[in-house]
Amino acid sequence: MATSVGVVVFPGTNCEMDAVAAVERLGGDGRLLWHGDEDLAGVDAVIVPGGFAHGDYLRPGAIARFSPMMGAIARFAADGGPVVGICNGFQVLTEAGLLPGALQKNQGLKFLCQPSVLRVESSDSSLTRRATVGSELSVPINHFEGNYTCDAEMLARLRDEDRIVLRYVDNPNGSVDDIAGVCNEGRNVVGLMPHPERACDELLGSADGAVLVGSLLDAA
């Protein structure tokens, strides 16, 4: 049976079908999960996709954190289940406390929608287990609030614990230490601002995201 990946839909989410298409292209079974439901319907992995959950009102992810589905995701993550937050999904996971730090507005004051090159820094996470450390992946970004920040103590921990899984080769948004993606202590929850689900086919300009989405299928 194909690995099932639940893709969470909040009011304002807009990347869910891209995520489902990427999962299915790689042989998985992508299923939409409504944020107001309280269980994960038995899926093997979870993607919190991009968009503007709850209109990004107050702060990106601030209101999404209170959706019933987030309680189920927190329990799934605590049991070691693989969870990936992409773009707005990364913001949701930081607001929910499943990942450290926060995403502030881009340093260059611009909304950025462009290809970016990522360097794989750790292959020990649910999103990077198929990837080779040091390899570079072309994956697009599409955000205004993607400038990762955390306090100095947390940054030192992330480095010491090898939890910075992806870095920008040419930092586009001012993120501290060029961070593009981080994982939790258990390494099963990963957040990143770039969109690997939009880079799973050469027709889209890059298929480099497939190694990341494929890693999630392996981790499930």
Q: Which of 42, 79, 109, 114 lies at the binding interface for another protein (CB under 8 A)? A: 109
Catalytic residue among 15, 87, 183, 200: 87
Task: Output the smallest distance, CB 63 to another protein, in A.
Answer: 9
Q: Which of 11, 12, 71, 174 lies at the binding interface for another protein (CB under 8 A)? A: 174
Residue placing its CB nearer to another protein in the complex, 74 or 102: 102
49, 8 Cβ separation under 8 angstroms:
yes
Q: In terms of Cα–Cα distance, which of 100, 19, 16, 33 is closest to 72?
A: 33
Q: Is 200 a catalytic residue?
A: no
Q: Does 105 bind another protein (CB under 8 A)?
A: yes
Q: Count the site residues for another protein by CB under 8 A.
A: 17
Strands (DSSP E) found in the chain: 4-9, 29-34, 45-48, 83-86, 102-104, 112-120, 136-143, 147-149, 164-168, 179-183, 189-192
Which amino acid is it at 38? E
Separation between Cα atoms, residue 60 and residue 62, nearest integer Å: 6
Site string for another protein, 19-58 (x = CB under 8 A): ---------------------------------------x
Six-digit token string for 167: 């870095």
Pairing of strands 83-86, 189-192: parallel
Q: Does 88 bind another protein (CB under 8 A)?
A: no
Q: Is 87 a catalytic residue?
A: yes
Q: Does 175 bind another protein (CB under 8 A)?
A: no
Q: Is 197 a catalytic residue?
A: yes
Separation between Cα atoms, residue 47 and residue 23, nearest integer Å: 10
Catalytic residues, which ones? 87, 195, 197
- Binding-site ranges for another protein (CB under 8 A): 58-59, 62, 94-95, 101-102, 104-107, 109, 147, 149-151, 174
